[in-house]
Amino acid sequence: MRSVSDVAITFSNEDNLFLTHQMVNNLLIQKGKHVENQPKTLINLQELENLVQAHPMVSSAQVSVGVIGDLKVSVKQRKPLARMYNTQNVVYLDAKGLEMPLSSNYSARVPVINNKNGFIKPKEVFPLIQKIDSDDFLKKLVVSVQKDKEGYWFQTRYNQQKVLLGDLNKINQKLKKLKVFYSYMEKDSLSSTFKKIDLQYNNQVVCSK
């Protein structure tokens, strides 16, 4: 009876960041025993997939057994788009808009959502976070997102300027205005002295020092 001779673990998206090969290997337990050296006929692939997928850093997993007895595990990790500081905890917001825990193994370089005042709801801010993640200009510019009584704000990397978005209505037009404005700022040395950029008004950008 052929037994599992080896365990091969691969990560299908990016490098193994939040999880190590050993961390995944440690999940491959059935009936109190590791799968290596166990008879192939006793391996429950669906159970192993469920065990790996239950890990909070895993998006999906596929487990299969090769002809020669090698167990193959393919893991897709969850992708964080932002780090959200809430009133009582700190979590990532992943590519599906769901909260995921931080990892002691790796810290993702993503924008911060400052929600210590509890004003921000993940479902509301998620489309904005998606736009930041999909745009190279915004990814380089935006350090953090926050919300107060005036609405949503960006904290930027450019001279610590703050950008007031207000509500998220017409957000595409507002972000387009922001890009045009920063393109203009590259040619105007006085623009670096502005501390606040207000995008709330139609067809104009209001700046103050």
CATH number assigned to the domain comprising residue 73? 3.10.20.310
Residue 15 shares a structural domain with residue 98: no
**102 in the same domain as 204:** yes
Residues 103 and 65 reside in one and the same domain: no
- 3-state DSSP call for residue 164? strand
Say if residue 88 is in the same domain as residue 57: no
Q: What is the pLDDT of residue 192?
A: 67
Q: Are residues 157 and 92 in the same domain?
A: yes
In the chain, the number of structural domains is: 2
**Pair (105, 200) in one structural domain:** yes
Q: Report if residue 151 sits inside a domain.
A: yes
Neighbours of 160 (CB within 10 A): 9
pLDDT of residue 207: 76
Domain that holds residue 131: 80-208
Classify residue 1: in a domain, yes or no.
Answer: no
pTM tops 0.85, yes or no: yes
Cβ atoms of 78 and 55 within 8 Å: the answer is: no
Domain end marker among 35, 59, 77: 77
Alpha-carbon distance 82 to 92, whole Å? 6
Same domain, 84 and 64: no
The reported pLDDT for the residue numbered 54 is 96
Low pLDDT (below 50) residues in the chain: none
**In the prediction, which pLDDT does 176 show?**
93
